Structure 1
Amino acid sequence: MSGRILVVGDVMTDVIVVPEGPIVKGSDRRATVRSHPGGSGANQAVWLGAMAADVVFAARVGQADLALYAGYFRGLNVVPVLAGDTELPSGVLVTIVDGDGERSFLTDRGANLNLGVADLPASLLDDVSMVMVSGYSFFAPGPRAAVRALLAQAQARGIALAVDPASVGFLAETGAAEFLAWTAGADWLFANADEAELLTGLTDYRQQIVALGAHYRNVVVKRGGLGAALGGQAGVRHQLPAPAVTVVDSTGAGDAFAAGFLAALLEGQDEAAAMAAGIAAGARAVQTIGGQPR
């Protein structure tokens, strides 16, 4: 497989808070607070651009930020196709990082909630060999309708589809059965361990892959520090460990993994090599603050 990849997903400003200790209710706690560009789809697109993939990114931002974001993505080897929203500002995500690098999120999706059919014209699929969609696009009615229409057109053209569930919290609100129905038939699913468990009700990653293989041609379960496994309805085909690294912030690690995997696949590498590339990208991501390469 080779060619251009279209990424559809959120653009966010990530406000990352790293407290020096437990938060004290009603009082102060010293913390490092930094603002970085983010959003699951944006992260995937920027990581793909850093890997020299031919990547187009479609999303919606606040009108006041349109020129700023367009220039930002172009500077990172991403072709932006951005719609400007006059009603809602660009999305903001507050991430609180605890002592072991795990995160809690406060999300205001802003303009992302108004992504519509007009923002995703069929012409976006021209010369595209794969479409990657962040799960966030399925968690609100308007974006969901727009993305599902685009995916139907992509399937009709024989374009490969990849989906990342993106948020176990929103998955739980939406329901596993609904998400599976909206995304069934995709060629690739990239789920972390918690997402795979929620979607299947199973705790063993091997069983998760088999169960999810009934809905998707290929399933990748990202297991964090344990690495990742890949397979389908017939079982696990490949699994690799992750290197031991110091985790600073796990924000965007799954996005980096998916980008590394797909960039290698689009270069013509086999599944095992793509797995290794994904794991290497995820390991790199957790060693810095923020969800995009530094």
Structure 2
Amino acid sequence: MAGGILVIGDVINDIVVKPFGPIARGTDTRATIRHTNGGSGANQAAWLAALGAEVRFAARVGSTDKNRLTAYFSGLGVEPCLAADDDFPTGQIVCLIDPDGERSFLTDRGANAQLDADDLPPSLLDGIEIVHISGYALFEPGARAAVLDLVAIAKQRDIAVSIDPASTAFLAEVGRADFIEWTRGADFLFPNADEAALLTGKIARQEQWPLLLADYQTVVLKFGGDGALLATRDAEPISKPAKSVVVQDTTGAGDAFLAGFLAARLRGEAPEACLELAIHSGARAVTNIGAQPF
């Protein structure tokens, strides 16, 4: 692999539930229920491969799922580097989808939370141009230490580092000051509106990106239906509107957006073109139920 991207993140067995109406407490509610592969890191790796990037994906899964998931990711064009856990199962999420497409998660991180240094050898960086970290890999102490050790080696090798904050609930749990300390100096940060507000303490978007640029080289703010903004330290910010599509499920939209941006970046495209592909990919993701390419 040359000029590729290493994604470090989570693998989740998604149980996606879209009720036909309000949930009737204590009785039945008709719904569409799908079992799909997911996890922020897994989704990002899948979308990157679908967009033509050379992708290596490192994660930890339950031992009974390793062969199946290795074959699955290989079939997507992703190079899987999956560690097997004999004690914890692959992570699971129940994803509840509102009628407007918004989603809420019930999360069991399982083997994802057990990621350790043995799972992330420096050889993972061979041939890599960008290391992308899903924020979920930073929320457990052991996994965080292993990830940050590998990030330090990446920086020594002049490999760019990208961060997705991933979860406002987990960000609030660990605290914004610590998260920024762990990730300060990253080349790319991809927060959504809520994550940017939590990391800066500011609601107004025009106040968020200047504060974030104090700690990150490039900030790409995701605003869902309101589009996105790209800010760097040496140029005026670039804003683009969202595409008009019929929303079925917003699960994985941010992962597809991020993958579009980084795939274009790996091809050497200009910042505006990177943002355009990001928005196109995010729009494609919301038109189908499930978090990975279809």
- Secondary structure, counterpart of 2:197 in structure 1: helix
Counterpart-to-counterpart distance in 2, 1:55 and 1:231: 25
Of 92-101 and 231-240, deviating more is 231-240
**Letter matched to residue 117 of structure 2:** V
Alignment-mate amino acid for residue 51 of structure 2: M
Q: Equivalent residue for 2:191?
A: 191
State the partner residue of 1:113: 113
Look up the match of 1:225: 225
Aligned to 2:12: 12
Match of 1:201 in 2: 201
Q: Summarize deviations over 1:186-231 as a string: whole Å, max 9, x none.
A: 0000000010001001112221110000110000100101110011
Query: For residues 64-83 of structure 1, what are the structure 2 equivalents within 5 Å?
Result: 64-83=64-83
CA distance in 2, matches of 1:101, 1:207: 28
CA distance in 1, matches of 2:160, 2:53: 16
What is the aligned-residue identity percentage?
A: 55
CA contact (8 A) 1:264 1:277 kept: yes
User: Would the aligned equivalents of 1:260 and 1:278 in 2 still touch at CA under 8 Å?
Assistant: yes
1:124-148 Cα shifts (integer Å, max 9, x gaps)? 0111010000000111111111111
Opposite residue 62 of structure 1, the aligned amino acid is G
Q: Does 1:98 align with 2:93?
A: no
* 1:209–1:233 CA contact under 8 A, matched in 2: no
TM-score by length of 1: 0.98
Query: Which aligned pairs between 1:37-76 and structure 2 lie closer than 5 A?
Result: 37-76=37-76
Secondary structure at 1:290 match in 2: coil
1:239 maps to 2:277: no
Q: Distance in 1 between matches of 2:83 and 2:268?
A: 32
Contact 1:212–1:233 (8 Å) recurs in 2: no
> Alpha carbons of 1:236 and 1:206: their partners in 2 closer, same or farther (altered >3 Å)?
farther
Moved more, 204-213 or 69-78: 204-213
Q: What SS does the corresponding residue of 2:76 show, helix, strand or coil?
A: coil
- Which amino acid in the other structure matches residue 11 of structure 1? V
Instruction: Say if 2:125 is the partner of 1:125.
Output: yes
Read off the aligned partner of 1:9 and give its amino acid letter: G
* Secondary structure, aligned partner of 2:229: strand
Deviates more, 1:166-175 or 1:76-85: 166-175
| Residues 105-140 of structure 1: per-residue CA shift (max 9 Å, x gap) | 000010001100010000101110100000001111
Distance in 2 between the 1:249 and 1:261 partners?
21
Instruction: State the aligned residue count.
Output: 293
Decide which moves more: 41-50 or 202-211. Answer: 202-211
Equivalent position SS for 1:277: helix
* Conserved? CA contact 1:227–1:242, under 8 Å: yes
Question: What is the letter of the counterpart of residue 265 of structure 1?
Answer: R
Deviation, structure 1 residue 232 = 3.5
Distance in structure 1 (CA, Å) of the matches to 2:146 and 2:117: 4
Whether contact under 8 Å (1:226, 1:242) holds in the other structure is yes
In the alignment, is the contact (CA less than 8 A) between 1:210 and 1:234 conserved in 2? no
| CA deviation profile, 1:59-92 (whole Å, cap 9, x unmatched) | 0000000000000000000000000000000000
- Map Cα deviations across residues 231-259 of structure 1 (whole Å, 9 max, x no partner): 13567521111111111100000000010
RMSD between aligned alpha carbons? 1.1
Q: What is the letter of the counterpart of residue 130 of structure 1?
A: I
Runs (5+) with no aligned partner, structure 2? none
